[in-house]
Chains A and B, each alone.
Chain A
Amino acid sequence: MIRRNLMVVVMCVEVMLNSVVLAFVVFAARSGTLAGAAMAFFLYIAAACEIAVAMAIVVMLVERRGSLDLAADYELKG
Chain B
Amino acid sequence: MISDVLIAVFGAMAIIFALLVVVLRQPMRAALALIAHMVSLAAIFACLEVHVVALFQILIYVGAVMVFMVYAIMLLDDRDASYAHVFSRWSVPAVIVAAVLVVALGAMLVQWAPAAPAATVRGPAPFSFSAFSVEFMTHYWFHFEVASILLVIGIVAAWAVIAERR
Residues of B within 8 A of A38 (CB): 136, 139-140, 143
Tell me if A53 and B126 are in contact (CB < 8 A): no
Pick the residue among A15, A33, A70 that contacts B88 (CB under 8 A): A70
A66 to B80, CA, bound (A): 8
Tell me if B126 and A34 are in contact (CB < 8 A): yes
Pick the residue among A18, A37, A55 that contacts B52 (CB under 8 A): A37
Chain A CB within 8 A of B94 CB = yes
A13 to B135, CA, bound (A): 30
Size of the chain B interface, CB-CB below 8 angstroms: 66
The chain A residue with its CB closest to the CB of B160 is A56
Chain A CB within 8 A of B12 CB = no
* Count of chain A to chain B residue pairs whose CB atoms are closer than 8 Å in the complex: 183
Q: Contacts A2-B91, A30-B117, A42-B143 hold; do A53 and B157 have CB atoms under 8 A apart? A: yes
Interface size class of A (residues with CB under 8 A): 35 or more
Tell me if B162 and A67 are in contact (CB < 8 A): no
Q: How far is the CB of B125 from chain A (nearest CB, A)?
A: 10
A15 to B23, CA, bound (A): 13
Residues of B within 8 A of A68 (CB): 27, 76-77, 80, 82
Q: How far is the CB of B41 from chain A (nearest CB, A)?
A: 6
- Tell me what chain B mostly uses at the interface: helix, strand, loop, or mixed: helix
Tell me if B50 and A28 are in contact (CB < 8 A): yes
Tell me if B60 and A44 are in contact (CB < 8 A): yes
Could you tell me which residues of chain A, from 34 to 75, have a CB within 8 Å of some CB in chain B? Answer: 34, 37-38, 40-42, 44-53, 55-60, 62-64, 66-72
- Tell me what chain A mostly uses at the interface: helix, strand, loop, or mixed: helix
Tell me if B82 and A11 are in contact (CB < 8 A): no
Tell me if B94 and A1 are in contact (CB < 8 A): yes
On B, residues with C-beta under 8 Å from A are: 18, 21-22, 24, 27, 30-31, 34, 37-38, 41, 44-45, 48-50, 52-53, 56-57, 60-61, 64-65, 68-69, 72-73, 75-77, 80-83, 85-88, 90-91, 94-95, 117, 126-127, 131-132, 135-136, 139-140, 143, 147, 150-151, 153-155, 157-159, 161-162, 164-165
On A, residues with C-beta under 8 Å from B are: 1-8, 10-12, 14-15, 18, 21-22, 25-26, 28-30, 32-34, 37-38, 40-42, 44-53, 55-60, 62-64, 66-72
